């Protein structure tokens, strides 16, 4: 018996050593990608919005005892929408859409600043572990449902926030939402819907990402706080609240584990909206790709950009029509697990 064990160890140990050496070489030698344009550059001028009536930040307490920021747009609606922002910034830019939905009594809207983002996060660009975003979102839903147990709840997201919504839908908390709204969602770096390096504004360190993924796959996570992606936001649009680099664990947590499986697991109503002039996504490929895995309503807005699908007026009648359709379906409330 001992000889068999020694033989097995003699085979496995060199293989493990080679695996670890390859992983560490990739981590140490990896460099951020060069800036590459695929289509036009991501433009930020649409974020120049009058925020003078922006709701003040509030806070809820997550399961680890930390206070996390969000904004609330009240209304008389029995629907609740949670909107998850994309990479690099925070929930402020949801103001035009959230104000529209709440003022027309289509939905009460909550827009959290995801952990690691916003005005004054504990650690900008980092979280404690992969999966903490979902835990935080579940905690926010529990807080909201304490006062609204029978409301229909929709989880929505833009860009990376849309990817997080897909991840949430396909995970253990997916049944906590009644429907999902995806605005130009980031499905995965290798999805046919994503432009190379997100149209040039993202600079991932692919070697480091691959090496850390290899380690994480065998349970080695102590290097997951290393920075793996930078974002090129023009200086004239920065005000100190932007988040221009992410750790491996935060960056990983934004994307679906496997968007195909997550979409297949999503039986709830699903609306996907993107603009034909999206600088980050190949918007024309959303319908062909998503329809393989889920029954979704997919709308393309002519002449609308990546940020315009959130802040522009064109998206509002589409979302309004979908919300009114959900109202006719009389969705039941779902109790948190």
pLDDT for 291-305, tens place per residue? 999 999 999 999 999
Could you give the CA distance from residue 121 to residue 91 in angstroms, rounded to a whole number? Answer: 13
- Comparing 32 with 13, the larger pLDDT belongs to 32
Taking residues 260-273, what's their average pLDDT? 95
What per-residue confidence (pLDDT) applies to 25? 85
Q: Which of 144, 168, 161 is nearest to 336 (CA)?
A: 144
Taking residues 276-294, what's their average pLDDT? 95
Q: Which of 257, 256, 205 is nearest to 231 (CA)?
A: 205
21 assigned to some structural domain: no
336 assigned to some structural domain: no
> Residue 35: pLDDT above 70?
no
Asked if 163 contacts 185 with a C-beta cutoff of 8 angstroms, the reply is: yes
Tokens of 148: 């609204």
Dihedral-angle region of residue 44 (phi above 0 means left; psi in -120 to 50 means alpha; beta otherwise): alpha
Dihedral-angle region of residue 198 (phi above 0 means left; psi in -120 to 50 means alpha; beta otherwise): left
User: What share of the chain has pLDDT > 90, as a percent?
Assistant: 74
What per-residue confidence (pLDDT) applies to 317? 97
User: What share of the chain has pLDDT > 70, as a percent?
Assistant: 88
> Residue 2: pLDDT above 90?
no
Per residue in 40-70, pLDDT tens? 467 788 888 999 999 999 999 999 999 999 9
63 assigned to some structural domain: yes
Tokens of 230: 């930078």
What per-residue confidence (pLDDT) applies to 39? 41
Taking residues 254-262, what's their average pLDDT? 94
Query: Could you give phi then psi for residue 207, rounded to 5 degrees?
Result: -60, -45
Q: Which of 210, 229, 181 is nearest to 33 (CA)?
A: 229
Alpha helices in the chain (DSSP H): 2-29, 95-103, 132-147, 160-169, 206-217, 248-254, 259-265, 286-290, 308-311, 315-329
Alpha helices in 73-112 (DSSP H): 95-103
Residue 37 — pLDDT band, cuts 50, 70, 90? very low
13 assigned to some structural domain: no
Taking residues 243-255, what's their average pLDDT? 96
What is the CATH number for 292? Answer: 3.40.50.1820
What per-residue confidence (pLDDT) applies to 335? 45
19 assigned to some structural domain: no
> Residue 105: pLDDT above 90?
yes
Per residue in 142-189, pLDDT tens? 999 998 888 999 999 999 999 999 999 999 999 999 999 999 999 988
> Residue 328: pLDDT above 60?
no
> Residue 202: pLDDT above 60?
yes
> Residue 310: pLDDT above 50?
yes
Instruction: Count CA atoms closer than 13 A to 115's CA, side-chain side.
Output: 29
17 assigned to some structural domain: no
Least confident of 25-29, 85-89, 115-119, 326-330: 326-330
Domain tally for the chain?
A: 1
Range of the domain at 277: 31-329
144 assigned to some structural domain: yes
What per-residue confidence (pLDDT) applies to 166? 97
Supply the mean pLDDT for the chain.
89
Instruction: Count CA atoms closer than 13 A to 201's CA, side-chain side.
Output: 21
25 assigned to some structural domain: no
């Amino acid at each position: 018996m001992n000889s068999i064990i020694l033989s097995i160890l003699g085979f496995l140990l060199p293989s493990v050593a080679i695996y670890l050496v390859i992983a560490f070489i990739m981590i140490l030698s990896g460099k951020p990608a060069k800036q590459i344009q695929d289509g036009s550059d991501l433009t930020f001028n649409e974020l120049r919005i009058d925020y003078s009536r922006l709701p003040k930040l509030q806070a809820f307490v997550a399961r680890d005892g930390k206070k996390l920021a969000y904004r609330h747009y009240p209304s008389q609606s029995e629907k609740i929408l949670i909107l998850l922002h994309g990479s690099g910034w925070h929930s402020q830019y949801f103001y035009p859409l959230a104000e529209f939905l709440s003022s027309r009594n289509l939905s009460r809207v909550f827009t959290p600043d995801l952990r690691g983002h916003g005005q004054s996060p504990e650690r900008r660009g980092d979280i404690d572990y992969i999966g903490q975003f979902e835990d935080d979102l579940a905690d926010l839903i529990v807080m909201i449902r304490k006062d609204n147990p029978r409301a229909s709840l929709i989880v929505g997201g833009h860009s990376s926030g849309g990817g997080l919504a897909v991840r949430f839908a396909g995970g253990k908390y997916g049944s906590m939402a009644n429907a999902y709204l995806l605005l130009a969602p980031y499905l995965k770096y290798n999805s046919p819907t994503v432009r190379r390096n997100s149209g040039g504004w993202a600079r991932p360190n692919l070697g480091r990402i691959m090496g850390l993924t290899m380690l994480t796959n065998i349970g080695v996570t102590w290097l997951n706080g290393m920075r793996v992606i930078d974002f090129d936001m023009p200086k004239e649009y920065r005000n100190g609240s932007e988040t221009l680099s992410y750790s491996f664990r935060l960056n990983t947590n934004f994307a679906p584990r496997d968007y195909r499986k997550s979409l297949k697991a999503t039986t709830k109503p699903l609306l996907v909206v993107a603009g034909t002039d999206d600088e980050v996504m190949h918007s024309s490929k959303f319908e062909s790709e998503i329809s393989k895995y889920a029954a979704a309503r997919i709308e393309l807005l002519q002449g609308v950009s990546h940020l315009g699908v959130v802040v522009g007026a064109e998206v509002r009648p589409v979302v309004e029509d979908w919300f009114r359709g959900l109202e006719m379906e009389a969705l039941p409330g779902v109790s948190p697990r």
